[in-house]
């Protein structure tokens, strides 16, 4: 530690991990808000509008934090990763600029209307505003994932005269098959965060015997949507992502699975600690031949281990990559179990009386955040040692003139500032949940919004 490269990497990892706490919730909640607004429109029941307003307040806080922590991400491509930007900006600049032009304008314009203009817009108009916020946030997710997918699996480019990478096919960049599957997988992860948060808050209301109509609405919405998302997360999206890695990033697959030696009928490690120095997995708990089957659909298929690749091609943080992957998969499995059981109880009409299951839903709230973070860590640590897979090494991407000392200065600054923001965020969200969806609990003069008079 202390080399400029390490500090630049740590700063990017830290700022993006913190940033992604917010969009994963807003993207998931955006879908659920559309669900609540549709219910309100169909049933004419004012409760659903109040429920939507309650979640819109939580959405607003998260959106604002997502915006302010998102700007540093765009800036850091230039400030900390100048050599990378100089080489690849002509390609990934496309998707990043499109995100600004197509999604942020849409999202921010209609969020303002959604939060401040319900009276003005009327019932249908307000639904449309909510839908456009959803559309904007989901489009934005696509452009970001397409950018990352290009770094994972570059398509539609050529090397220009001055050594820079140029775009050669717009549609290959935009419709990269890696991007399509990674997008589906990422968005399902965001939907699960939204669902677990909504169901968890609902469970909290039911367990504390307050706002029970809302409690039931939130649990129902969270479980109905969450169960579908949890299943699709594994199959087909997770499965196909795995195959894409197996076909295109072979050393990454071996490192994720902790497979040091090549094998026919390779086992799937459920638990165990990779020892990179001795090139083995300690205390392995394995399912025989499972990895071969999952990867190639043949029990005796040959899977290449890390030993088959020169060490310079290995991801440089193998244990962290291995654990991220296992945490993601483990939690994903737990989510399926929790959501499917909840779904079953809901169908049998027993969920709202089952204290055990409500407790489970409530304590699960932090878990999808961890799973989403672990998933992104798997993708990004798995891409190492490449910045653009097969084209540019991470070590060659940093800004040549920004010294480690300057990077430390800003990293520490971000850590301090984000700690304060994180505390404020928890405090404000807790407060919104405590005040609840019923109007009238709110002290006079708070959250006064603004209406323009004609």
> Among residue numbers 95 through 134, which ones bind another protein (CB under 8 A)?
96-102, 104-106, 108-113, 115-121
18/324 Cα distance (integer angstroms): 16
The smaller minimum CB distance to another protein, of residues 1 and 453, is found at 453
Q: Tell me which of 38, 41, 90, 213 binds another protein, using CB under 8 A.
A: 90
If binding is defined by CB under 8 A, does position 69 make contact with another protein? Answer: yes
CB of 117 to another protein, least distance (A): 6
Long-range contacts of 105-108 (CB under 8 A, 24+ apart): 105/136, 106/132, 106/135, 106/136, 106/139, 107/132, 107/133, 107/136, 107/137, 107/140, 108/67, 108/136
- Number of chain residues interacting with another protein (CB under 8 A): 90
Closer of 122 and 366 to another protein (Cβ): 122
Q: Which residues, numbered 160-189, are part of the site for another protein (CB under 8 A)?
A: 160, 164, 166-168, 170
For the segment 28-47, give every residue that binds another protein (CB under 8 A).
46
Q: Which stretch binds another protein (CB under 8 A): 70-78, 294-302, 353-361, 370-378?
A: 70-78
Contacts of 206 (CB under 8 A, 6+ apart): 212, 215, 216, 219, 352, 358
Is the Cα torsion angle 24, 25, 28, 30 positive or negative in sign? Answer: negative
Q: Which of 184, 222, 162 lies closest to 343, judged by CA?
A: 222
Position among 10, 16, 41, 64 found at the interface with another protein (CB under 8 A): 64
CB of 57 vs another protein, minimal distance in Å: 8
Compute the distance between CA of residue 323 and CA of residue 104 in angstroms, rounded to an integer: 34
Q: Which is nearer to another protein, 75 or 299 (CB)?
A: 75
Stretch that binds another protein, among 66-74, 200-208, 235-243, 316-324 (CB under 8 A): 66-74
Window contacting another protein (CB under 8 A); options: 88-96, 179-187, 240-248, 294-302: 88-96
Among 411, 218, 245, 429, residue whose Cα is nearest residue 328: 245
Over the range 84-106, which residues count as b (16 or more CB within 10 Å of their CB) and which as e? Answer: bbbbbbebbebbbebbeebbbeb
Closest CB to another protein among 113 and 223? 113
Report which of 129, 74, 125 is spatially closest to residue 106, judged by C-alpha positions. 129
Closest distance of CB 156 from another protein, Å: 10
> Which positions from 399 to 428 touch another protein by CB under 8 A, shown as an x/- string?
xxxxx--x--xx--x---x---x--x---x
């Amino acid at each position: 530690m202390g080399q400029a490269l390490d500090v630049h990497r740590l700063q990017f990892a830290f700022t993006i991990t913190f940033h992604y706490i917010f969009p994963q919730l807003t993207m998931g909640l955006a879908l659920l808000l559309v669900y609540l607004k549709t219910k309100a429109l169909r049933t004419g029941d004012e409760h659903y509008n109040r429920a939507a307003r309650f979640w819109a307040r939580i959405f607003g806080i998260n959106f604002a934090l997502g915006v302010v922590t998102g700007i540093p991400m765009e800036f850091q491509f230039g400030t900390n990763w100048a050599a990378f930007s100089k080489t690849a900006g002509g390609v990934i600049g496309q998707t990043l600029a499109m995100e600004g032009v197509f999604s942020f304008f849409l999202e921010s314009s209609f969020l303002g209307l959604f939060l401040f203009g319900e009276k003005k817009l009327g019932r249908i108009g307000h639904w449309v505003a909510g839908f456009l916020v959803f559309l904007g946030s989901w489009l934005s997710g696509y452009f970001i994932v397409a950018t990352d997918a290009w770094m994972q699996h570059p398509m539609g480019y050529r090397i220009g005269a001055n050594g820079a990478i140029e775009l050669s096919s717009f549609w290959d960049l935009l419709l990269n098959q890696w991007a399509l599957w990674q997008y589906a997988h990422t968005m399902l992860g965001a939907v699960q965060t939204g669902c677990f948060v909504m169901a968890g808050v609902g469970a909290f209301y039911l367990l504390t015997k307050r706002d029970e109509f809302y409690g039931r609405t939130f649990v129902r919405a969270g479980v109905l949507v969450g169960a579908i998302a949890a299943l699709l997360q594994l199959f087909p999206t997770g499965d196909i992502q795995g195959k894409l890695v197996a076909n295109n990033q072979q050393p990454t697959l071996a490192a994720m699975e902790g497979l040091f030696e090549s094998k026919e009928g390779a086992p799937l490690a459920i638990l165990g600690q990779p020892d990179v120095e001795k090139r083995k997995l300690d205390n392995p708990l394995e399912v025989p031949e499972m990895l071969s089957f999952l990867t190639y659909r043949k029990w005796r298929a040959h899977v290449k281990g890390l030993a088959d690749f020169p060490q310079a091609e290995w991801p440089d943080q193998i244990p962290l990559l291995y654990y991220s992957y296992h945490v993601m998969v483990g939690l994903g499995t737990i989510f399926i179990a929790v959501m499917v059981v909840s779904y079953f109880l809901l169908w049998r009409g027993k969920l709202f009386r089952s204290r055990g299951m409500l407790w489970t839903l409530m304590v699960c709230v932090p878990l999808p955040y961890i799973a989403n973070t672990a998933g992104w860590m798997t993708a990004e640590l798995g891409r190492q040692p490449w910045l653009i897979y097969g084209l540019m090494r991470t070590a060659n991407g940093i800004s040549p003139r920004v010294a480690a000392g300057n990077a430390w200065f800003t990293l520490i600054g971000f850590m301090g500032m984000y700690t304060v923001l994180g505390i404020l965020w928890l405090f404000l969200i807790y407060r919104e949940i405590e005040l609840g969806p019923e109007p009238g609990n709110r002290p006079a003069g708070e959250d006064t919004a603004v209406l323009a008079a004609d």
